[in-house]
Amino acid sequence: MPNGDYSVTVSVGDRYFDSTHRINVEGQNILPNFVPTSRQPYELATATVRVNDGRLTLDSIGGDNTRINYVEIKRVDPGNHPRIPSGVPLSRASNINRNAAITLDVDLLGTGSVVDGATLTNRTVQLYRTRDGAPVAGIANTTGGGDAIVFQPSRSLDANTHYTFRLSDGVKDESGVAFLPFSTTFSTGSNDNSNSAIRFNKSTVYTGIGPLGFSSLETSPDGTQLYGATITGELHRWTIAADGRLTNQQTFLGLANANRSIVGLVFDPQDPKTLWITNNDSVVTPPPANDFTSKISKVTLNSGSSFVPTVTDYVVGLPRATRSHMSNSLEFGPDGALYLTQGGNAATGAPDSNWGNRPERLLTASVLRIDPRRTAPVGGFNVQTETYNGKPGTYNPFAPNAPVTLYGKGIRNAYDLVWHSNGSLYVPNNGSGAAEGNTPDDPRTPFNEVLLGVNTQNDYLYRVESGGYYGHPNPAQGHYILNGGNPTAGLDPAEVNQYAVGTQPDPLYRGFAYDFGRNRSTNGAIEYLGDAFGGKLRNQLLVTEYSAGDDILALKLGANGGVIGSTQIASGLNNPLDLVEHRPTGNLYVSEFGANQISLLSVV
């Protein structure tokens, strides 16, 4: 064989259980001592090896009666390639939840490199039942930041069954470089986390044109209309029919024509004719986006049946990351103030090449509090805090009577937020992808807290309190330690094990209320207020999982406000981004962003 790199996949095993199968390729053990069982008669492994002597050497030294089913050998093009360094479930893991997703960390090639989601197809990403090769249908996608690969089965996997997952070199990054092939295997247990007592009927009530769907959904205060904002700047509204269908669609293109991306959308509780929105330098335009270009605007609805609202900027100069982190969702609090989830500029607090080496700003990675009852100057309150591209920024959120202030800090990229009826603010946050970010050094200590290529961080739900810090470093705010640090030699809450043992969390670190896990991409969130299903869902937090999961989770809260349980109440969704409850009926409307459609989940 010509010298060079090769991807080698080997399958071993049979239905006789008298062997200890072992495979070595070019002296590298890729499949150690597998003993088949009736539940798992076969095993498979993939590795990339280098041939230097004109032949590829494969042996079973160390095994006993190893039986090979097949060997696949494929030449790897010269040069560096993105690869999969690890994933969940871990290889050969057992007792995996039947609703589990396969989530893969990715090791990309450098500045601006992300997974090309268009190459994630049912030919390049495959999950199948090992014993007979029966394929499992599902959705393969990447995260909003393009920094992971996720496969979510469309149904619960069979109980107590062995599965094989494979990713081919047909998967590429956006520059066209192929990934190294990858495979893993695992076995399910008997459990899933669905709730059979809660059932919605799903139907599609709107399908759009183009690849991108709705970023936010909101119902009118009287429950007669549904409003939808798009990532391309459109505002839509429909009349909600008695059966939940959407009729009489109307569209406003003013912000789309200005090349803005809308995320936040909320009605003013004091004025049913006023919407508040966030709008940002377009996420559709190739990066880098310009910093300090995000806004909060008031949308005043006109009288009559036409849909020609007036848009007035209220806050301008909000920060903006180079890619998909921006000014996200809005919610009114019990104090009458407006609260905003503001995305961070960096992966894990210090500048990094994947996010354009843009530093964190004084207002990034935070929940901001806005006074909505001020008379704004022409053009809006300018809150640019740092100088950028020669334009000075001097806004001080700590000044007396500042219209925009910091409420909760260290929240990397929270898409949505919920002021619950129990008086608490709940914020689901998206953690960083694998090997993507760096952490800063704290100049106040004698230690060096810098980490490079930080491991994947979990997605957490935070119960945010004024002045609290929640784990995303921001030197501009005086916070340097990622999540829970690594204070002890044992397993610590939200531990970052790349830190030296003894690294204490930030003094203001408040921890998390719930751990969603890795690469879930938790986004839309609401408190369910209806009495459907005998009141079983009332006051629970409903959260969409855009990547791993492709579902809606219901989080049950205890008397003290903590999470005491979670169940899956809807599955098989296509990148669900936002949801809203139709209060008169208890039905849910869900933006399936990956399919550019709105689905109705009607109460059974």
The bridge status of strand 459-464 relative to strand 425-428 is antiparallel
Pair 263, 400 in one domain? yes
Residue 114 lies in a domain: yes
188, 220, 244 — which closes off a domain? 188
Pair 206, 184 in one domain? no
Residue 194 lies in a domain: no
Q: Which residue, among 604, 429, 415, 420, has the nearest Cα to 528 in the 3D structure?
A: 420
Residue 195 lies in a domain: no
Residue 78 lies in a domain: yes
188, 212, 245 — which closes off a domain? 188
Residue 47 lies in a domain: yes
164, 188, 212 — which closes off a domain? 188
The confidence score (pLDDT) of residue 17 equals 87
Q: Is 80 exceeded by the pLDDT of residue 436?
A: no
Place of tokens 């205060």: 221
Pair 170, 287 in one domain? no
As a whole-number percent, the residues of the chain with pLDDT over 70 amount to 99
The confidence score (pLDDT) of residue 37 equals 87
Pair 317, 217 in one domain? yes
Question: CATH number, domain at 363?
Answer: 2.120.10.30
Residue 472 lies in a domain: yes
Pair 522, 571 in one domain? yes
The confidence score (pLDDT) of residue 604 equals 87
**What's at 204, amino acid-wise?**
T
What Cα–Cα distance (Å) separates residue 304 from each residue in 162, 301, 309, 395?
A: 61, 9, 11, 40
CB 307 within 8 A of CB 129: no
Span 474-486, average pLDDT = 98
As a whole-number percent, the residues of the chain with pLDDT over 90 amount to 86
Counting other chains too, the contacts that 243-250 makes at CB distance below 8 Å and 24 or more residues apart are: 244/203, 244/205, 244/582, 244/585, 244/587, 244/600, 244/602, 245/205, 245/600, 246/205, 246/206, 246/598, 249/206, 250/306, 250/307
What b-and-e string marks burial along 19-50, b requiring 16 or more CB atoms within 10 Å of the CB?
bebbbbbbeeebbeebebeeebbbbbbbbbbe
Pair 521, 406 in one domain? yes
Place of tokens 């809005």: 330
Q: Is 80 exceeded by the pLDDT of residue 477?
A: yes
Q: What is the mean pLDDT of the chain?
A: 94
The confidence score (pLDDT) of residue 418 equals 98
CB 91 within 8 A of CB 182: no
Q: Is 90 exceeded by the pLDDT of residue 509?
A: yes
Q: What distance lies between CA 562 and its chain's CA centroid?
A: 22
Chain segment 347-366, per-residue pLDDT in tens: 999 999 889 999 999 999 99
The confidence score (pLDDT) of residue 112 equals 66
Span 455-459, average pLDDT = 93
The bridge status of strand 93-96 relative to strand 182-188 is parallel
Q: Quote the tokens at residue 279.
A: 């709008």
Pair 402, 465 in one domain? yes
Span 229-256, average pLDDT = 96
Q: Is 80 exceeded by the pLDDT of residue 217?
A: yes
Distance (Å, whole) CA 493 – CA 487: 10
Pair 38, 113 in one domain? yes
Distance (Å, whole) CA 135 – CA 276: 46
Residue 135 lies in a domain: yes
Region of poorest pLDDT, from 201-205, 404-408, 430-434, 442-446: 430-434
Q: Quote the tokens at residue 135.
A: 């394929």
Residue 193 lies in a domain: no
CB 294 within 8 A of CB 279: yes
Whole-structure pTM value: 0.89
Please provide residue 494's backbone torsions phi and psi, each rounded to the nearest 5 degrees: 55, 35
The confidence score (pLDDT) of residue 336 equals 98
Chain segment 282-336, per-residue pLDDT in tens: 998 888 999 999 999 999 999 888 999 999 999 999 999 999 999 999 999 999 9
Pair 123, 91 in one domain? yes
Bridge partners, 268 (sequence order): 271
Task: Print the domain residue range for 45.
Answer: 4-188
Distance (Å, whole) CA 101 – CA 98: 9
Distance (Å, whole) CA 377 – CA 365: 26
Question: CATH number, domain at 52?
Answer: 2.60.40.1220
Q: What distance lies between CA 135 and its chain's CA centroid?
A: 26
**What's at 564, amino acid-wise?**
I
Pair 166, 214 in one domain? no
The confidence score (pLDDT) of residue 537 equals 96
The confidence score (pLDDT) of residue 521 equals 93
The confidence score (pLDDT) of residue 90 equals 85
What Cα–Cα distance (Å) separates residue 203 from each residue in 226, 247, 362, 590?
A: 16, 15, 44, 10
Pair 315, 404 in one domain? yes
Pair 79, 121 in one domain? yes
**What's at 103, amino acid-wise?**
T
Taken as a whole, the chain contains a residue count of 604
Q: Report which secondary-structure segment, H or E, holds 257.
A: helix 254-257
What b-and-e string marks burial along 356-377, b requiring 16 or more CB atoms within 10 Å of the CB?
bebbbbbbbbbbbbbbbeeebe
pLDDT tier at 111, thresholds 50, 70, 90 = low
Q: Is 80 exceeded by the pLDDT of residue 479?
A: yes
Q: What distance lies between CA 541 and its chain's CA centroid?
A: 17
Q: Is 80 exceeded by the pLDDT of residue 257?
A: yes
**What's at 153, amino acid-wise?**
P
What Cα–Cα distance (Å) separates residue 17 from each residue in 12, 30, 31, 65?
A: 12, 20, 17, 10
Q: Report how many domains make up the chain.
A: 2
CB 588 within 8 A of CB 200: yes
Distance (Å, whole) CA 492 – CA 471: 14
Chain segment 124-177, per-residue pLDDT in tens: 999 999 989 999 999 998 887 788 899 999 888 999 999 999 999 999 999 999
Q: Which residue, among 334, 337, 514, 338, has the nearest Cα to 426 in the 3D structure?
A: 514
Chain segment 569-592, per-residue pLDDT in tens: 999 999 999 999 999 999 999 999
